[in-house]
Amino acid sequence: MAGFELAIQASPAATLLVEDSGRILLENAWARTLFGQSVVGRCVEDLIPVDRADRHRELRGAWQAEPQARLMGRGRDLTALRADGSTVPVEVGIQAFEREGRTWTICWLVDTTARRQLEADRDAAWARALQSQRLEGMGLLAGGVAHDFNNLLVGVIGNANLALGVLQPGTTAHDYVQDLRRAAEQASSLARQMLTYSGRGPNRIDLLDLSSLVGDLRDLLRSSVPRHMALHLTCDIDLPPLAGDANQLRQVLLNLVTNAAEAIQTTGTISVHTTAMTVPSPGLPDARPHPLPPGTWLALQVTDDGEGMPREVVDHIFDPFYTTKAAGHGLGMASLLDIVRAHRGGVVVESAIGEGTRITVFLPPHRLPSPVVEDISLPRGTILLADDEPIVRRMARRVLVSAGYTVVEAEDGRQALDTFRQRHAEFDLLLLDASMPHLNGTEVFEAARALRPEVPIVLSSGFNEAEATTKLQGRGLSGFLQKPYTPDDLVQMIARVLARTTARQPNG
């Protein structure tokens, strides 16, 4: 026994000497620290939660019948019971010794709390990575489908507009085509949402009236709020204009109102307010994603009188995959913050338990430049039209020919470049699809500009402008046409580009 005691006291781990009955004979200081008390004289099952003690007794008996050493690193994971009633995860290694006709068992125990936390963090990180990959894959799929969908919608919307131009209003055929155009425009909106989800949305920037944008959603907002909740909209008039993507800002508002409705357990009120606010110096340091500098901002406020959120929830509300909802995916507020960041704005969240929540989205007002009169009369000319979708080429050719242009078509990038090389002096403008087989729009742009550096080139794509023109930044791209475009969009873009080109040419 004396030899055992020296070895046990020298052990760097919590160590016990146990006899066959399960009674503990010796312990070291590490064991007393682990259990929070001396355990000498107690049965090992006393150190295990009650609901697991009987099972441990059975396993101990089976092991004693055929004892095999379990060294640390290959031991069994168990749960130990401390003196204060708390539990601690441990790894247990055991070794049987026979001496003087008796069998003793030495048990080594190591607290595995830190290791298990590391494993849990690793598993959570792995799960997040898998989820991120899954979402990325879904986003790529959605983006690809939406891009192809937009190509088809160019033909549908464009030809519907052409048909409406020749059909007599009020006729059955006119009504049919008008419904067709409306359905195609709704499909176009759906495609934009898919692109936004994929991170490749069009980001179409227009001058907007924030109050009008909110007011136009009044009916949709009311339908998204349960009947037992009140919804109040207060929109200031004559606000400065806002340069933004209307679809993305609608998404922000719908997200905020939906979250507010979910925060109200029974009856309650949701208030939406648009206004211009002056942020005094030194600004708003708590704004996300960055502190908000002082100045005049457009503000979209959504307030609810729900149960409110504790500080720790507010601190993590914009973290990807963070959610307090049982069925939530934790992407709504993260996506909202991405949209606000893209609009150079900020978000401030004010909430406390029992006091409800107010979320304010700050957006920069647009400073209108001095008016410039631009001559966009329709200069005539010859256009090289390159797109691998026949329906797009046919529609665009019809529109441009009817506007007085001469159009030469190319069904892919290689044919477009070959045609331009042979006849480059004839063309007044190139209209190129960004994604074509053999040579894409960027490659044709580079080769064409090498032949004629001054030739105007317009790029068209179903992806957003930033993505489609990444390699052409600062290289003199004349214009970008977002698909799906209407005949008016096409004619006005071509006219503006040619008008600017004509204005820059020296007088003959």
SS3 for 286-298 is CCECCCECCEEEE
Which carries the bigger pLDDT value, residue 272 or residue 506? 272
* For residue 134, pLDDT beyond 70: no
pLDDT tier for residue 303 given thresholds of 50, 70 and 90: very high
Which carries the bigger pLDDT value, residue 74 or residue 350? 350
- Quote the pLDDT of residue 103: 81
Mean pLDDT value across residues 227-247: 90
Q: Give the chain's mean pLDDT.
A: 84
Q: Does residue 282 have a cis bond before it (omega within 30 degrees)?
A: yes
At 17, list the tokens. Answer: 């000497």
Mean pLDDT value across residues 187-196: 66
Mean pLDDT value across residues 331-353: 83
Which carries the bigger pLDDT value, residue 23 or residue 202? 23
Q: Which residue has the tokens 């936004």?
A: 196
Mean pLDDT value across residues 90-108: 85
Q: For the sheet with 382-386, list strands across it.
A: 406-410, 382-386, 429-433, 457-461, 479-482
* For residue 135, pLDDT beyond 70: no
Q: Tell me the C-alpha distance between 396 and 399, whole Å.
A: 5
* For residue 451, pLDDT beyond 80: yes
Ranges assigned E (strand) in 82-203: 87-99, 102-111
pLDDT tier for residue 72 given thresholds of 50, 70 and 90: low
Q: Tell me the C-alpha distance between 402 and 482, whole Å.
A: 21
Mean pLDDT value across residues 433-437: 91
Q: Position 397: which residue type?
A: R
Residue 200 φ then ψ, to 5°: -125, 30
Q: Tell me the C-alpha distance between 29 and 12, whole Å.
A: 10
Q: Tell me the C-alpha distance between 381 and 397, whole Å.
A: 13
Mean pLDDT value across residues 286-290: 85
Whole-prediction pTM: 0.45
pLDDT, one tens digit per residue, over 479-508 is 999 888 888 889 999 998 998 877 666 554
Q: Tell me the C-alpha distance between 147 and 463, whole Å.
A: 6
Q: Position 311: which residue type?
A: R
Q: Which residue has the tokens 């930044």?
A: 473
Residue 240 φ then ψ, to 5°: -60, 150
Which carries the bigger pLDDT value, residue 135 or residue 86? 86
Mean pLDDT value across residues 324-353: 74
pLDDT tier for residue 373 given thresholds of 50, 70 and 90: very low
Q: Would you give the distance in Å from CA 466 to the centre of its chain?
A: 17
Which carries the bigger pLDDT value, residue 267 or residue 31? 31
Angle, CA 55 vertex, CA 54 and CA 60 arms, to 5°: 95
C-beta neighbour count of 221 within 10 angstroms: 22
User: Which of 142, 158, 143 is CA-nearest to residue 484?
Assistant: 158
The region of weakest confidence among 156-165, 205-214, 424-433 is 156-165
Question: Greatest CA span in the chain, whole angstroms?
Answer: 119
DSSP 377: -
Mean pLDDT value across residues 246-261: 89
The region of weakest confidence among 22-36, 237-251, 446-460 is 237-251
- Quote the pLDDT of residue 210: 95
- Quote the pLDDT of residue 2: 60
User: Which of 267, 350, 266 is CA-nearest to residue 309?
Assistant: 350
Which carries the bigger pLDDT value, residue 204 or residue 43? 43
Q: Tell me the C-alpha distance between 330 and 352, whole Å.
A: 20
Which carries the bigger pLDDT value, residue 156 or residue 412? 412
Mean pLDDT value across residues 155-177: 86
